[in-house]
Amino acid sequence: MVTQDSHFEKVFGTKKPIIGMVHLKALPGAPKYDPEVFPMEKVEEIAIEEALLLQKAGVDGIQIENIWDYPYVKGGEIGYETVAAMAAIARSIKKEVSIPFGINCHLNGGKAALAIAVSVGAKWIRVFEWVNAYVSHAGIMEGIGGMLARYRSFVKAESIQFFCDVHVKHGSHFLVSDRSIEEMAYDAESEGAEALIVTGFETGQAPTPQRVKSLNEKTMVPLLIGSGLKRENLESLLPFCDGAIVGSDFKKDGDWKKPVDFERVYYFMEQAKKVRGDQ
């Protein structure tokens, strides 16, 4: 839940902000990077174009991430080339848009994301595993909250917020199967997460209204839906959360691998404004 005059609400200037995704094409160093088809100049051009489309369609913020860099490596193995490329593109996007933006670096690359955020003036980073642990495609991911809190202090970036997943998608949580999602949300909040993110099992899959409502009732920090929100379920989900990160539904045919579809974003935002009482 968002408290009155919270830093979260001040960042976005609205209640229940909708954050659109800028999915970067594969970057240098990633297996799918192809300088003949998508050189860095083209990757940057597409990213700026989609950021501007999202802003024009009315989103309240954007999140920039290297989603095409799969198969992913663990955070500590992310290369300098990835950090440099993301920072360069994010800086170019910042010159073109006026809405706030954040950084997500796969997989659980919180330190890389924070370094990028500091260099470009981002307002938040997304952290898949802040506390506890889960089994991802890249192996066991352990919580990095303690390290990130210290690194943020080291680089004097206290204004950059930590948006942290609880029971993150694309993985097995058997390691913590003796703990409920509400207990894990408490763990993250008590260890310094400044916003929590709840998702379905995979990209494009929404959490249930019951799960969203339960988490929001038991936490004191903002709760964001991180996957699966679309026009069809806006009215059943948005009232129970404090905002959302939307990727797939803003793309052509609802497919995250396709380009941003201006009309889909525009009509989504028109409905979202009605649900949250803007109009």
> The CATH number of the domain where 144 resides is what?
3.20.20.70
Backbone angles phi, psi at 65, to 5 degrees: -145, 155
Alpha helices in the chain (DSSP H): 7-12, 40-57, 80-96, 110-120, 145-154, 181-190, 209-218, 234-237, 262-275
Measured between alpha carbons, how far is 264 from 194 in angstroms, rounded to an integer? Answer: 30
Q: Which domain holds residue 265?
A: 7-275
Measured between alpha carbons, how far is 21 from 23 in angstroms, rounded to an integer? Answer: 6
Mean pLDDT of the chain: 94
pLDDT below 50 — which residues of the chain?
4
Helix (H, G, I), strand (E, B) or coil at 2: coil
Domain membership of residue 253 (yes or no) is yes
Measured between alpha carbons, how far is 4 from 175 in angstroms, rounded to an integer? Answer: 36
**Token digits for 248?**
């797939």
Domain membership of residue 1 (yes or no) is no
Helix (H, G, I), strand (E, B) or coil at 27: coil
CB 155 within 8 A of CB 187: no
Count the alpha carbons within 13 Å of 23 in the hemisphere toward its beta carbon. 18
pLDDT given at position 4: 46
CB 134 within 8 A of CB 171: yes
CA 166 vs CA 72, 242, 245: distances in Å: 20, 15, 14
Closest by Cα among 215, 185, 195, 153 to 8: 195
Measured between alpha carbons, how far is 245 from 222 in angstroms, rounded to an integer? Answer: 13
pLDDT given at position 237: 95
CB 143 within 8 A of CB 190: no
133-136 and 139-142 beta bridge pairing: antiparallel
pTM for the whole thing? 0.94
**Token digits for 201?**
């099992």
pLDDT digit string, tens, across residues 25-34: 999 999 999 9
Measured between alpha carbons, how far is 43 from 201 in angstroms, rounded to an integer? Answer: 29
Domain count along the chain: 1
